[in-house]
Amino acid sequence: TVMEKMGARHGQLVNMENLGRNSHRLEFEIPTRGLLGYCSEFITDTKGEGIINSVFAGFTPYKGDIPTRNRGSLVAFETGESNTYGLYNAQERGTLFIGPQVKVYEGMIIGENSRPGDLDINVCKKKHITNLRSSTAEEAMRLIPYKEMTLEKCLEFIEDDELLEVTPKSLRMRKSKLSRQDRQKIKGRNI
Protein backbone atom coordinates (compact mmCIF):
# COMPACT_ATOMS: atom_id res chain seq x y z
CA THR A 1 0.00 0.00 0.00
CA VAL A 2 2.91 2.37 0.63
CA MET A 3 4.19 1.86 -2.92
CA GLU A 4 0.69 2.38 -4.38
CA LYS A 5 0.13 5.61 -2.46
CA MET A 6 3.58 6.96 -3.32
CA GLY A 7 2.93 6.14 -6.98
CA ALA A 8 -0.40 7.98 -6.90
CA ARG A 9 1.45 11.01 -5.49
CA HIS A 10 3.96 10.92 -8.41
CA GLY A 11 6.70 9.20 -6.40
CA GLN A 12 9.29 7.15 -8.30
CA LEU A 13 11.01 4.22 -6.60
CA VAL A 14 14.77 4.82 -6.77
CA ASN A 15 16.13 2.11 -4.47
CA MET A 16 14.74 -0.89 -2.58
CA GLU A 17 16.81 -2.69 0.03
CA ASN A 18 15.97 -5.70 2.21
CA LEU A 19 17.23 -5.12 5.76
CA GLY A 20 16.24 -8.55 7.08
CA ARG A 21 13.83 -9.39 9.91
CA ASN A 22 10.84 -8.41 7.76
CA SER A 23 11.96 -4.82 7.17
CA HIS A 24 12.77 -2.95 3.97
CA ARG A 25 14.18 0.42 3.00
CA LEU A 26 12.42 2.13 0.11
CA GLU A 27 13.80 5.30 -1.46
CA PHE A 28 11.51 7.46 -3.57
CA GLU A 29 11.87 10.70 -5.48
CA ILE A 30 8.61 12.55 -4.92
CA PRO A 31 7.47 16.17 -5.18
CA THR A 32 7.11 17.96 -1.84
CA ARG A 33 3.43 18.50 -2.67
CA GLY A 34 3.06 14.71 -2.73
CA LEU A 35 4.40 14.38 0.81
CA LEU A 36 2.05 16.96 2.35
CA GLY A 37 -0.35 15.07 4.57
CA TYR A 38 1.12 11.67 3.75
CA CYS A 39 2.92 11.16 7.08
CA SER A 40 -0.27 10.30 8.98
CA GLU A 41 -1.36 7.88 6.22
CA PHE A 42 2.11 6.28 6.28
CA ILE A 43 1.92 5.70 10.03
CA THR A 44 -1.53 4.13 9.63
CA ASP A 45 -0.43 1.93 6.71
CA THR A 46 2.67 0.65 8.53
CA LYS A 47 0.77 0.27 11.83
CA GLY A 48 3.24 2.63 13.52
CA GLU A 49 6.26 0.52 12.57
CA GLY A 50 7.48 2.63 9.62
CA ILE A 51 9.99 5.47 9.70
CA ILE A 52 9.72 8.26 7.13
CA ASN A 53 12.46 10.74 6.33
CA SER A 54 12.76 13.36 3.59
CA VAL A 55 15.63 15.30 2.05
CA PHE A 56 15.32 18.03 -0.58
CA ALA A 57 16.89 16.66 -3.78
CA GLY A 58 16.29 19.61 -6.10
CA PHE A 59 13.76 21.19 -8.40
CA THR A 60 11.98 19.13 -11.06
CA PRO A 61 9.37 19.92 -13.72
CA TYR A 62 5.69 19.85 -12.70
CA LYS A 63 4.47 16.24 -12.72
CA GLY A 64 0.73 16.85 -12.59
CA ASP A 65 -2.02 17.11 -10.02
CA ILE A 66 -1.92 15.14 -6.79
CA PRO A 67 -5.16 13.19 -6.14
CA THR A 68 -7.37 14.84 -3.54
CA ARG A 69 -9.89 13.44 -1.10
CA ASN A 70 -13.10 11.93 -2.39
CA ARG A 71 -15.21 13.07 0.57
CA GLY A 72 -16.83 16.40 1.27
CA SER A 73 -16.68 18.73 4.25
CA LEU A 74 -19.04 19.22 7.18
CA VAL A 75 -19.68 22.98 7.19
CA ALA A 76 -21.22 24.97 10.05
CA PHE A 77 -24.19 27.03 8.87
CA GLU A 78 -24.78 28.97 12.07
CA THR A 79 -22.53 31.27 14.10
CA GLY A 80 -22.29 30.47 17.80
CA GLU A 81 -20.72 27.98 20.18
CA SER A 82 -20.70 24.25 19.49
CA ASN A 83 -22.38 22.07 22.09
CA THR A 84 -22.66 18.37 22.89
CA TYR A 85 -26.18 17.97 21.50
CA GLY A 86 -25.32 19.53 18.13
CA LEU A 87 -22.05 17.59 17.85
CA TYR A 88 -23.77 14.33 18.83
CA ASN A 89 -26.09 14.66 15.84
CA ALA A 90 -23.22 15.77 13.56
CA GLN A 91 -20.90 12.87 14.40
CA GLU A 92 -23.23 10.46 12.60
CA ARG A 93 -22.50 12.34 9.35
CA GLY A 94 -18.70 12.02 9.43
CA THR A 95 -15.49 12.73 11.33
CA LEU A 96 -15.46 15.86 13.51
CA PHE A 97 -12.50 18.24 13.91
CA ILE A 98 -13.88 20.22 16.87
CA GLY A 99 -15.20 19.49 20.34
CA PRO A 100 -17.89 21.15 22.46
CA GLN A 101 -17.70 24.82 23.51
CA VAL A 102 -15.73 25.91 20.43
CA LYS A 103 -16.74 29.17 18.77
CA VAL A 104 -17.80 28.49 15.17
CA TYR A 105 -19.05 30.72 12.38
CA GLU A 106 -21.04 30.20 9.20
CA GLY A 107 -18.85 28.61 6.53
CA MET A 108 -16.33 27.12 8.97
CA ILE A 109 -15.33 23.50 8.27
CA ILE A 110 -16.00 21.44 11.37
CA GLY A 111 -15.43 17.95 9.99
CA GLU A 112 -15.13 15.56 7.06
CA ASN A 113 -18.32 14.22 5.49
CA SER A 114 -18.52 10.44 5.15
CA ARG A 115 -19.89 10.90 1.61
CA PRO A 116 -18.89 12.97 -1.42
CA GLY A 117 -20.13 16.57 -1.37
CA ASP A 118 -20.28 19.20 1.33
CA LEU A 119 -22.95 19.11 4.03
CA ASP A 120 -24.13 22.17 5.96
CA ILE A 121 -24.78 21.21 9.56
CA ASN A 122 -25.80 23.00 12.77
CA VAL A 123 -23.51 22.20 15.70
CA CYS A 124 -24.90 25.09 17.79
CA LYS A 125 -28.33 23.45 18.06
CA LYS A 126 -29.50 23.00 21.65
CA LYS A 127 -31.80 20.32 23.01
CA HIS A 128 -35.33 21.49 23.72
CA ILE A 129 -36.11 21.30 27.41
CA THR A 130 -39.50 20.01 28.47
CA ASN A 131 -41.11 19.37 31.83
CA LEU A 132 -41.82 15.76 30.89
CA ARG A 133 -38.95 13.36 31.61
CA SER A 134 -38.70 9.64 31.06
CA SER A 135 -35.97 7.25 32.12
CA THR A 136 -35.35 6.00 28.56
CA ALA A 137 -35.01 9.51 27.12
CA GLU A 138 -32.41 10.54 29.70
CA GLU A 139 -29.50 8.54 28.28
CA ALA A 140 -26.16 10.32 28.31
CA MET A 141 -24.81 11.57 25.00
CA ARG A 142 -21.32 10.28 24.34
CA LEU A 143 -19.17 11.98 21.74
CA ILE A 144 -16.61 10.15 19.67
CA PRO A 145 -13.22 11.85 20.23
CA TYR A 146 -12.63 14.43 17.53
CA LYS A 147 -9.71 14.33 15.09
CA GLU A 148 -6.97 16.79 16.04
CA MET A 149 -5.86 18.67 12.92
CA THR A 150 -2.24 19.80 12.59
CA LEU A 151 -1.04 22.39 10.08
CA GLU A 152 0.13 19.65 7.71
CA LYS A 153 -3.17 17.76 7.93
CA CYS A 154 -5.13 20.97 7.31
CA LEU A 155 -3.06 21.84 4.24
CA GLU A 156 -3.63 18.36 2.85
CA PHE A 157 -7.36 18.44 3.65
CA ILE A 158 -8.41 21.74 2.06
CA GLU A 159 -9.74 21.85 -1.50
CA ASP A 160 -9.61 24.67 -4.08
CA ASP A 161 -12.74 26.35 -2.67
CA GLU A 162 -11.47 26.25 0.93
CA LEU A 163 -9.05 28.37 2.97
CA LEU A 164 -6.97 27.87 6.11
CA GLU A 165 -6.86 30.53 8.84
CA VAL A 166 -3.72 30.35 10.97
CA THR A 167 -3.68 32.28 14.27
CA PRO A 168 -1.45 31.86 17.33
CA LYS A 169 -4.23 30.03 19.20
CA SER A 170 -5.92 27.97 16.48
CA LEU A 171 -6.08 26.58 12.97
CA ARG A 172 -9.46 27.02 11.27
CA MET A 173 -10.50 25.73 7.89
CA ARG A 174 -13.32 27.51 6.11
CA LYS A 175 -15.05 27.84 2.78
CA SER A 176 -13.87 30.75 0.62
CA LYS A 177 -17.52 31.87 0.41
CA LEU A 178 -18.90 31.82 3.95
CA SER A 179 -22.59 32.22 3.10
CA ARG A 180 -24.47 29.07 2.10
CA GLN A 181 -26.43 31.02 -0.52
CA ASP A 182 -23.21 32.29 -2.15
CA ARG A 183 -21.80 28.74 -2.30
CA GLN A 184 -25.01 27.43 -3.87
CA LYS A 185 -24.96 30.20 -6.51
CA ILE A 186 -21.40 29.29 -7.49
CA LYS A 187 -22.25 25.58 -7.50
CA GLY A 188 -25.27 26.31 -9.75
CA ARG A 189 -23.08 28.16 -12.26
CA ASN A 190 -20.60 25.28 -12.49
CA ILE A 191 -23.26 22.68 -13.35
pLDDT in tens, 31-62: 988 888 788 788 888 888 899 998 998 898 99
pLDDT value at residue 120:
92
CATH of domain 73-190: 2.40.50.250
Domain 1-66, second-level architecture: 2-Layer Sandwich (3.30)
pLDDT in tens, 94-152: 999 999 999 999 999 999 999 998 999 999 988 777 666 554 444 577 888 999 998 88
Q: What predicted TM-score, i.e. pTM, was given to this entire model?
A: 0.73
pLDDT in tens, 164-177: 999 999 999 999 88
> What is the enclosing helix (H) or strand (E) of 32?
helix 32-35
User: Is residue 162's pLDDT more than 50?
Assistant: yes
pLDDT value at residue 133:
58
pLDDT value at residue 135:
46
Nearest CA among 5, 7, 82 for reference residue 39: 5
pLDDT value at residue 138:
42
Are 1-66 and 73-190 equal in CATH topology? no
Cα 14 from chain centroid (whole Å): 30
What are the CA-CA distances from residue 23 to residues 16, 18, 51, 55, 158 (Å)?
Answer: 11, 6, 11, 21, 34
> Mean per-residue pLDDT for 74-91?
91
Q: Where are the domains of the chain?
A: 1-66, 73-190
